[in-house]
Structure 1
């Protein structure tokens, strides 16, 4: 699921972008959650509650301009992952936008094709720099950034995927997931658990503690495999032993 925010003080601009995104969804079946704000304060509230992946931002908001918001995102929130597409009827902001590193800049008026191009560019960027794990619920396919996954757990006949933000159940085969994610340093430490090594807070001889405090036992049959993976990580001191 990709979280997209649209912020423009002109309501019909927000509705127009929203419509174009919905059309893109129909064509591609990519999953989007869309949040709309008509001012900076509303946008700030959205960003406090949700992790926004892609932001369409009017640079000429009446209360706080888009440059200030961009600086807030990069410096105050320390969010370098959010991709920002600025929207403006003017072209004299290039120098002030340099430190914000926007993904692109759209001139008003823009077209359906302009918005679709930004969505396609974002998806290409995600696949290159933010690998995703795909899973199905019913007929719908969802995508989750791999570096945000904490662990997978077998629950009955389903798999539970746990991230910092949410947990979700779906049908899948744990062995297939392990094969797919092995190169991203996921390791099965128990027949029911596949964990992200980068989300380990600390570990011992019998259990690991994941980010968020969840303790997971290391089975005897998986101990050697786990310790071999640990050797690769200890060089970078990504987690500590206890």
Structure 2
């Protein structure tokens, strides 16, 4: 079964735009779990423009499902993750000034760096996942780093699917098959939505987890948070 992890960065963005603590990030995390979400994801950046490092600590005692912290493993991020000890850390090579994540790792070029970082997290009992493009060579490179899982970067699929190009799923399906053969767990995220999640899930064998934030929060403005979480769960658990 594919788990739904809700990325709550946008809730923090809204809070920060006004100051104070409305909406309350911790309460939102508690609520989405109560509504059925099987995980909570945050992506703190060094400038803390949405999720703050303190949020990561505050959420630790309230996330009773899977707690996923993602980000670029700069020194401050590594220290944060080792202190909080979430269920999973997802390594993303985003630049400091990136609006949002826009590429996966070059797992071959960055192998030595990733090996060292991943080993440190694993030695502290934290499952590791690395953000990758659906390129077979990069999947093989991910295996060589010792990571537990990969997270397929799905923006290209989402864009092409919105244009009617269902063939855009093929590199993702091929990557998932290879990852499974290499005994790598498979996660996915970025621009997945109610419009495309069912088709994506149907065609990706072994999909363990999807992390969805921006689309889910936007859809919730019209349909309500509890309703949207339930809609995702139904699509992810459909037996087709």
Higher RCO (C-alpha 8 Å, min separation 6): 2
Higher strand content, 1 or 2: 1
Higher helix content, 1 or 2: 2
What TM-score comes out, normalization by structure 1 length?
0.29
Which protein has the larger Cα radius of gyration, Structure 1 or Structure 2? Answer: 1
